[in-house]
Structure 1
């Protein structure tokens, strides 16, 4: 536990507001150290400052108390959740199709939420897709098979540990993400296939012209 965590824990345990000196005494630290951490916690919204009523001459000390609610900057472990969901999806009927559909639905929802639903031409779609993949941590690289940009190499997998054990779910989800994003942008191309580890340390997304439904 860090010193700042100790200050926050002391405020929570007190049940009533504490002054800088109160915190310093409880933790056996210098008042300046207590003040430094209290101000940092105040800036992050983890504590609030209370101005007590004047009961005797002189300026009353500022009092602090912990705010209600969980820490928005606290530790996260989405890998556990992702693993639980991947295992649950793997037990469903036709899990790979469901995984692709889940990725497509999420990407379409995100595109609509972000207002990214204007039709794009091929080059614009290629640029936006590589940008999206970069933001998600895939380290994409534009590649060419037939003297044209028709592949995206992925040098990183944000879910590498899960992909090692649940490639049957994780890779279809990623395929669906790309397909859903391109469909939401009404792009003239789609991702036909995602080839996991086609080369050492590299997955390849194959793009192809999108078939329009008349």
Structure 2
């Protein structure tokens, strides 16, 4: 991969729709907004809202402040945009390439390690339904689609070749350039993320596999209903 390409800022929806929406909300607010306020206004899960807010802070687009309070309790953390934008372009693509190549070179099973990490993050970013509440396959797919969109993809659901099969078409991978050189790591991470999210939902379907780059900007996740999606729960779930 060319060094100049790695250092070039992203030019194809680098923030993704959900993160852009959160940024626009902060810009329009009269003062700092908390995670709860952002989650309520956007319809995102609190963990997902916090994930986007912290990413905006890391990108230099927002600041985080702990607000003083006169009553007992945990201080409120507020987020607001940075006047004038970031001081300089952050080199996240280069950082992703460096960390991914390190994982691929030093781990005995980098794909497996990446999938496990994806499972943990997928569970963290997903809201668990109330006890005894079972989602339908359609509800679970809708929630999974929203999660993947929030992470920067442009997902679209299609029916599979047989009953109970679905294709989640993932376009605009936010790590496409890195994934082209390290599919085993990046694609395993995304597959694990989907599996962790479905397990957290107690969804009646399984992410069977992820077919990367069936087209230059398209990957397809194969989902199957009626399978036991909870046989191999992420560690975060086992400890609850």
Structure 1: unaligned runs, 5 residues or longer: 1-43, 46-70
- The answer to whether the 8 A contact 1:101-1:176 is kept is yes
User: Who is 2:121 aligned against?
Assistant: 106
- Gapped runs of 5+ residues in structure 2? 1-61, 64-81, 232-240
Distance 2:189 2:91 in 1: 19
RMSD, aligned α-carbons: 2.2
Pick the aligned partner of 1:76 from 82, 90, 111. Answer: 90
TM (norm. structure 2) is: 0.53
Q: CA deviation at 1:148?
A: 5.2
Decide whether the 8 Å contact of 2:165 with 2:222 is kept in 1.
Answer: no
Corresponding residue for 2:155? 140
Q: 1:148 to 1:192 in 2, by over 3 A?
A: closer
2:227 pairs with 1:210 = yes
Contact 1:107 1:181 in 2 (8 A): yes
Do 2:178 and 2:186's aligned partners in 1 also have CA atoms closer than 8 Å?
A: yes
Q: Superposition pairs for residues 26-175 of structure 1, below 5 Å?
A: 74=86, 75-90=89-104, 91-111=106-126, 116-118=127-129, 119-145=134-160, 146=162, 150-175=166-191
Could you tell me how far apart the structure 1 residues matched to 2:120 and 2:197 are?
9
Query: TM-score, structure 1 length as denominator?
Result: 0.59
Shift of 1:109: 2.1
- Higher-Rg structure is 1
Check the 8 A contact 1:143/1:149 in 2, yes or no: no
Higher relative contact order (CA 8 A, sep 6+): 2
Judging changes above 3 Å, is the alpha-carbon distance between structure 1 residues 81 and 210 closer, same or farther for their aligned structure 2 residues?
Answer: farther
Deviations 1:54-103 (A, max 9, x none): xxxxxxxxxxxxxxxxx795343322222222112112011111110011
Paired position in structure 2 for 1:178: 194
Deviating above 4 A after TM superposition, structure 1's stretches of 4 or more consecutive aligned residues are none
Secondary structure in structure 2 of the residue aligned to 1:76: coil
Q: CA deviation at 1:160?
A: 1.0
